[in-house]
Amino acid sequence: MALSPIVKGTIQSAVIGGISNIIAQVVAAQQNNKPITIDPLPLFQFILFALVSTPPNILWQEFLESTFPAHDDPRPPKEKPPVVPKLNKTNTLIKTILDQTLGAFINTLMFSMFMHGIQAAMSHHHGSSPSASSFVGTLLGAGGGPKQVMRWENVNWQHVWEKSRGEFWEIVQAGWKFWPLVSLVNFVFLKTVEARNLLGGLAGLGWGVYISLSTAARK
């Protein structure tokens, strides 16, 4: 049975999130002249965020496209000869503005709240330098059960909110230097969900490395 676009996109984003975090850890180690070791904690956190955030983002993109179609087809589908759909510049501009304002604001807050929250909930793992195998064992329920993975009672949500607010505009402005071009290419030139997911994934790889490095620096 074929996977739905949401499932495919979520799996793709999780893989890209993991790869980008690994690349970021390698880059950070080289910059600091340290041996290259992969910390499973941020790797797990970035993969989990991708799994949580991708489905609503795909639904958001589908909503934008259905509400503001990028192309107009002036003829009925069965009429010949086929006509290349005309770009609707107004709809494309509206979608880009909405995506880079409302969409960007919600995504940025969601990312910051999630990351700072889960880092606090998993702070008891820091300093123990868990190996990947032992951490996976903990995730699967060994060595104390699921409560050993995340302790949400340790999270100070007021502190998480303040940190998220403090870095909000920095992340949004960094995104404005990168994502508007990606959005325009997606809306103007790419017409299939698969093609848009592919471009978004490739762009997300570079963005994920930047965000991973920034998140590590802000700890």
Q: Which residue has the higher pLDDT, 202 or 196?
A: 202
Query: Could you give the number of structural domains in the chain?
Result: 1
Does residue 107 register a pLDDT over 60? Answer: yes
In this prediction, residue 130 carries a pLDDT of: 55
Query: What b/e readout covers 127-150, taking b as 16+ CB neighbours within 10 angstroms?
Result: eeebeeeebeebeeeeeeeeeebb
**C-alpha distance across the termini of the chain, in Å:** 43
Tell me the per-residue pLDDT of 32-73, one tens digit each, with 9 for 90 and over: 888 988 888 899 999 999 999 999 998 998 899 899 988 776
Q: Which of 119, 102, 109, 154 is nearest to 48 (CA)?
A: 119
Residues in CB range of 148: below 8 A, 6 or more apart: 138
What distance in Å separates the CA atoms of residue 95 and residue 103, rounded to the nearest whole number? Answer: 10
Q: Are 216 and 24 in contact (CB under 8 A)?
A: yes
Predicted TM-score of the model (pTM): 0.82
| pLDDT(99) > 50 | yes
How far is it, in rounded angstroms, from Cα 23 to Cα 213? 9
Mean pLDDT (whole number) for 7-15: 90
Average pLDDT, the chain: 83
At 129-187, the pLDDT tens digits run 555 555 555 554 544 555 567 888 889 999 999 999 999 999 999 999 999 988 888 87
pLDDT of the residue at 151: 83
| C-alpha distance from residue 66 to each of 21, 48, 62, 187 (Å) | 33, 28, 6, 12
Which phi and psi angles does 8 have, rounded to 5°? -60, -45
How many percent of the chain have pLDDT more than 90? 42
Q: Which domain holds residue 17?
A: 5-217
8-33 burial: b if 16+ Cβ within 10 Å, else e: ebbebbbebbbbbbbbbbeebeeeee
CA distance 106 to 175: 13
pLDDT value of residue 142: 47
The residue-averaged pLDDT of 189-216 equals: 81
Residue 215: name the closest of 41, 42, 27, 7 by CA. 42
